[in-house]
Amino acid sequence: MSTLELAELLPQLGELTPGVAGRWIAAALAQAAALHEHDGWLYPIDPARQPGAERLHDAWREWAHGAEALVRQAESLQYVGQEIPGLDQLRDSVGWAQAMTAMPPALIAQRRRQAHEGDVYSVEEVRRELRAGFRRACNSVE
């Protein structure tokens, strides 16, 4: 069962206990660990591996969505003073997955091509732009 399916099922099963929440959290973390085994495929250089990267990216997105719902359900138990083992680790894993899925493989492939073609900014150009933006922001506050 995926974490997404779990997120839809758990509310229908009555009150979640800390022990049960801990087991579901352990299962979600185990699924994340299994997905992490394939992280080397997320942003391939070889275009032929792009479809697999997209599917793995989708799997991570689905996992994050379901795991986030599990975190919310477990947090409700924690607010009433119940300690939930693994909840902090799951929360961190969800944050990592959400940040990673914000950069799809196609975007990384496009940026890799741009860099290879020399369509990049020098460090000095970036510094100059950042300074100018900072000055604009400071002037607008005054």
pLDDT-based confidence at residue 133 (cuts at 50, 70, 90):
confident
pLDDT digits (tens, 9 = 90+) for 17-54: 888 889 999 999 999 999 999 999 999 888 899 999 99
**Residue ranges of domains in the chain:** 3-103
pLDDT-based confidence at residue 6 (cuts at 50, 70, 90):
low
> Per-residue DSSP letters for the chain?
--HHHHHHHGGGG-PPPHHHHHHHHHHHHHHHHHHHTTGGGSS-SSGGGHHHHHHHHHHHHHHHHHHHHHHHHHHHHHTTT---TTHHHHHHHHHHHHHHHTS-HHHHHHHHHHHHTT----HHHHHHHHHHHHHHHHHHH-
